[in-house]
Amino acid sequence: METNTKVKATQKKAKSLHISGAEAVVRCLLEEGANLIYGYPGGAIMPIYDELYKFQDRLHHVLTRHEQGATHAAQGYARTSGKVGVAMATSGPGATNLVTGIADAQIDSTPMVCITGQVASHLLGSDAFQETDIIGISTPVTKWNYQITKASEIPEIIAKAFYIARSGRPGPVLIDITKDAQFEKFDYSYKKCNGIRSYAPYPALSNESLEEALTLIDQAKKPFVVWGQGVILGNAEEEFKAFLEKSGIPAAWTILGLSALPTEHPSNRGMVGMHGNYAPNILTNECDLLIAIGMRFDDRVTGDLNTYAKQAKIIHLELDPAEVNKNVTVDVALLSDCKISLKELTKRIASKTYPEWIARFDALDKIEYDKVIKSDLFPKKQGLTMGESIEMINKYSNNDAIIVTDVGQHQMVACRYAKFSQSKSNVTSGGLGTMGFALPAAIGAKMGAPDREVVAVIGDGGYQMTIQELGTIFQQQVAVKIVVLNNDFLGMVRQWQQLFFDKRYASTEMVNPDFVTIAKGFRIQAKRVDKREELDAAVKEMMASKEPYFLEICVEKEDNVFPMIPSGSSVSDIRLE
């Protein structure tokens, strides 16, 4: 008996590894299936990078040209792959350069783990070289963060980080590791995290609330669904589609919910919000039942809260209790994973049609087509429009590309006119509205979905905020297609200045460089078009390329995006011109 016990103890000891904290970090990442990370090295994280060098056959590190680019690339990767994105940086300015991307991921519910190096633990609080309190700085914009000062903490904390980032409502987590913890050796073992005390990421669906929701749906004469990214994050696309098809209820999307339902699906009535479609915005204030699914009633969707859907009963399908009754008071909250709540609703609702209600959508759609869409897509003006440029991309992508957008007029136009046949196809900065997002995010999006075409649609302003990531595209040979819609303005700000500030174009006109020459300097195929007769062939050539490609499309300088709800106005006050 004593001999057997000794043998078992020896076997157990042999299985454990006595390794450095830096090596443990890399092994933990591999345990979590993170074989692709984005980052930028520096002094305080150099021990981890030394281990990455040793494991480069199993874990691919992408050297971005700026730490912000690393976070946006990790976001793009997460959004198209459905996995947790990973970004890495050194202490001080390296860590603080991650913050914009972390804040973007937090508000858009993107699962991401960021790892930063930190000065040695005995120097903490001493204002040492490149020391910054990244824990304090990042606390408001992370789902969770933690500073590791002992190597033995690394496996447990990284396991928790991945669990927290991906579970429930996803979000970014930051782990800060002191340099001495990276050098310190310990007996390593890894156990994945499957739960944390007091953290309940998936609320149980209430039968009472379900019954109340079913009653409201049964009684409704003019029901309307608004869905958001929660449908995509919950992998509930099929359940959502089944609910719409059985219920017969028309539906519209927030920009982050775009692509959860194919563009051509008959229940899909377009976009809500400031630059959304005419019918869904107007009819938000005419419906008698509003069913909100996986969306948070953002101000860009609701406009003036004092006038938003006051005539309607409201059902909110939501995973995060903090979002319920935060902006809009609802009648019934279905707190649960929407994959579950939608399935339960679909089982028990009656099949219905609403011909008169649907006809109201059709009539308003025609008004918008005649006043806005026709001139956007089939313009008579001499200059190119953003709308016809997006329509040309649809033509040569067969509505199957991933479209990554930056922030501004081009973003709204792309969201309005891009067509999608499958989910996880729209990657954009929604809540934070981060200019500079698209170029690095497109890198990650393509790496997350290598078999799909990825087209980054960017304005000339946002493009120059992260233009250095052309170097990453060149070095990694990521076959993204980059389309800059160039109007020589910060277009969205200029539009507001035109409409609300008597055309005082203060600091919005851009004097731009030769974008084609810059792209060619990075050995990227490049072309510029400014005439309508050149557009078709240029887009066709770009989409046919198997390599990175840059296309500059020079569009009308003072073209505006309509419809538009003026800031703070009711959704009923949507303008068509």
Catalytic residue (one of 6, 12, 129, 381): 129
Structure tokens given for 524: 């990227």
Determine the 3-state secondary structure of 327 from DSSP. Answer: coil
In the sheet that holds 402-405, the strands lie side by side as: 426-428, 402-405, 454-459, 481-486, 549-554, 525-529
Torsion of CA 157, 160, 166, 171, to 10 degrees: -60
Instruction: Transcribe 208-268 into DSSP letters.
Output: HHHHHHHHHHHH-SSEEEEE-THHHHTT-HHHHHHHHHHH---EEE-TTTTTSS-TT-TTE
Catalytic residue (one of 130, 468, 498, 525): 130
Catalytic, 46? Answer no
Tokens 């042999």 belong to residue: 14
Single-letter residue type at 204:
A
Residues paired with 253 in a beta bridge: 227, 271
* 155 CB-side CA count, 13 A: 17
Q: Quick check: 339 and 235 in contact, CB under 8 A?
A: yes
DSSP state of 373: I
- Determine the Cα–Cα distance for residues 298 and 278; give it in Å rounded to an integer: 18
Catalytic residue (one of 412, 492, 542, 564): 492
Catalytic, 492? Answer yes
Catalytic residue (one of 179, 241, 339, 424): 179
DSSP state of 427: E
Determine the 3-state secondary structure of 573 from DSSP. Answer: helix
Tokens 């008996």 belong to residue: 1
Instruction: Transcribe 333-360 into DSSP letters.
Output: EEES-HHHHHHHHHHHSPP---HHHHHH
Structure tokens given for 328: 């809009």
Tokens 């608004």 belong to residue: 226
* 427 CB-side CA count, 13 A: 37
Instruction: Transcribe 528-563 into DSSP letters.
Output: EE-SHHHHHHHHHHHHH-SS-EEEEEEB-TT----S
Q: Quick check: 25 and 158 in contact, CB under 8 A?
A: yes
Q: Which of 355, 285, 262 is nearest to 272 (CA)?
A: 285
Catalytic, 130? Answer yes
User: Count of residues for the chain?
Assistant: 577
Catalytic, 224? Answer no
Q: Quick check: 402 and 424 in contact, CB under 8 A?
A: yes
Catalytic, 239? Answer no
Q: Quick check: 455 and 398 in contact, CB under 8 A?
A: no
Catalytic residue (one of 23, 32, 51, 67): 67
The sign of the dihedral angle between the CA atoms of 300, 305, 311, 315 is: positive
User: H/E element holding 403?
Assistant: strand 402-405
Residues classed as catalytic: 67, 129-130, 179, 492
